[in-house]
Amino acid sequence: MRMTTVVAALAIVVAGAAGGYVLWSRDAASRVPPGFARANGRIEVERVDVATKIAGRIAEIRVREGDDVAKGELVARLDSTELRAQLAAAKAAVLRAEQAIIKAEAEVDSQEANLELAEVELKRGTELVQRSVTSVSDVDKRRAQRDVAKATVAAARAAVGDAKAAREVAIAQVDQIQATLDETDLTAPVAGRVEYKLTQPGAVLAAGGRVVTLLDLTDVYMTVFLPTAQVGKVALGSEARIILDAAPQYVVPATVSFIASEAQFTPKAVETVTEREKLMYRIKVSIEPKLLTTYRNYVKVGLTGNAYLRIDPAAAWPADLQPKLPDVP
């Protein structure tokens, strides 16, 4: 009986010590160093949709959810059979227009030669009529022939202009079809990770139809909310720190990239230290793109954690808030 009592007493002592340690740990974790503010938030990433600019049928999708893609990488392709046929026809029209130009220019050369001959004949007739060798009516006839030759040359030159204009129209048609054809290749506008695949090969989409959603891994941030008393002391562009609940042993360096100009109601999904204050200011704490390049595989959307912001410019970052990141192989 005495032994049981002793064991029970020891158990109570151990439990009390363990409970005290837990409370001490929580208290230590909840303490905010003087000159700093802390706010809860979640990791967010800007989303970018890859969408069609033209209507069409999806021929293939080259990515899967979770794949990393580079900027400009081919993500999907629309069926281009009809457009390629139109492009071939337009290129043939350009060739026909170029042949028409060659023919029209040859006609100009021929008619200019006829005009030169008519000018010579008119001059000769004028000289002959002055010597009474030929009649005035003969000169008039030669002048009429010269005038016809002039008109024919003008018409031939106009035909050259028309042929060149037709060629420009045909070239513009080729360029337009080629531009539309280029839109059948859907590429990633940013380097990122495929979050959702929104359609399947064979589906017919209208212009603007979304194919995949990408996570822009160069724009990762935590959105937090601070009350008026604190937000006025936070400088845009100032240093910040992020500690995630999933990895509390690491401290991620960050920067205050946005401070809302107007207060707003705190979203219900976000907890704040001062629950009594209903109006809060939204702040974005962004992780540097260079750092994200190194740790892109660690980026997880929706991870909760705390952001620490300096509200006293003279305050030095304490040792437990110095940047600490995992080793990357």
Q: What is the DSSP string of 190-220?
A: SSEEEEEE---TT-EE-TT-EEEEEEEEEEE
Do 164 and 258 have their domain in common? no
- Single residue among 140, 164, 182 that ends a domain in this structure: 182
Do 273 and 303 have their domain in common? yes
- Kindly state whether residue 137 falls inside one of the protein's structural domains: yes
Do 144 and 266 have their domain in common? no
Structural domain containing residue 89: 81-182
Residues 101-146: tens digit of each pLDDT:
888 888 778 877 877 777 776 677 676 666 666 676 766 677 787 7
- Kindly state whether residue 228 falls inside one of the protein's structural domains: yes
Rounded CA-CA distance 199/325 in Å is 38
- CATH number for the domain spanning 307: value is 2.40.30.170
Q: What share of the chain is helix, strand, coil (3-state, %, to 5)?
A: 45, 30, 30
How many degrees, rounded to 5, is the angle at CA 40 between CA 327 and CA 291?
A: 30
Residues 241-255: tens digit of each pLDDT:
999 999 999 999 999
Where in 52-197 does DSSP place strands (E)?
Answer: 56-61, 68-69, 74-78, 185-187, 192-197
Do 87 and 176 have their domain in common? yes
Do 148 and 286 have their domain in common? no
Rounded CA-CA distance 246/45 in Å is 17
Do 138 and 229 have their domain in common? no
- For residue 239, what pLDDT is reported? 94
The residues, ordered by sequence, that sit 6+ positions from 203 with a Cβ below 8 Å of its Cβ are: 57, 58
Check whether 5 has a pLDDT greater than 70: no
Mean pLDDT of the chain: 83
- Kindly state whether residue 11 falls inside one of the protein's structural domains: no
Check whether 59 has a pLDDT greater than 70: yes
- CATH number for the domain spanning 191: value is 2.40.50.100
- For residue 122, what pLDDT is reported? 64
- Kindly state whether residue 9 falls inside one of the protein's structural domains: no
What count of Cα atoms within 13 Å lies in the side-chain half-sphere of residue 61?
22
| β-sheet bridge partners, residue 51 | 210
- Kindly state whether residue 37 falls inside one of the protein's structural domains: yes
More confident of the two residues 14 and 94: 94
Q: pLDDT-derived band of residue 47, with 50, 70 and 90 as boundaries?
A: very high
Do 74 and 133 have their domain in common? no
Do 262 and 246 have their domain in common? yes
Do 88 and 220 have their domain in common? no
- Kindly state whether residue 329 falls inside one of the protein's structural domains: no
Rounded CA-CA distance 75/50 in Å is 8
Sheet holding 204-205, edge to edge: 185-187, 74-78, 56-61, 204-205
Rounded CA-CA distance 150/278 in Å is 89
Sign for the pseudo-dihedral over CA of 189, 195, 199, 201: positive
Overall domain count for the chain: 3
The structure tokens listed for 309 are: 């912001």
SS3 annotation, 146-171: HHHHHHHHHHHHHHHHHHHHHHHHHH
- For residue 114, what pLDDT is reported? 75
Do 256 and 130 have their domain in common? no
Do 192 and 73 have their domain in common? yes
- Kindly state whether residue 328 falls inside one of the protein's structural domains: no
Residues 164-196: tens digit of each pLDDT:
999 999 999 999 999 999 999 999 999 899 999
- For residue 95, what pLDDT is reported? 93
Strands 247-259 and 68-69, sheet pairing:
unpaired
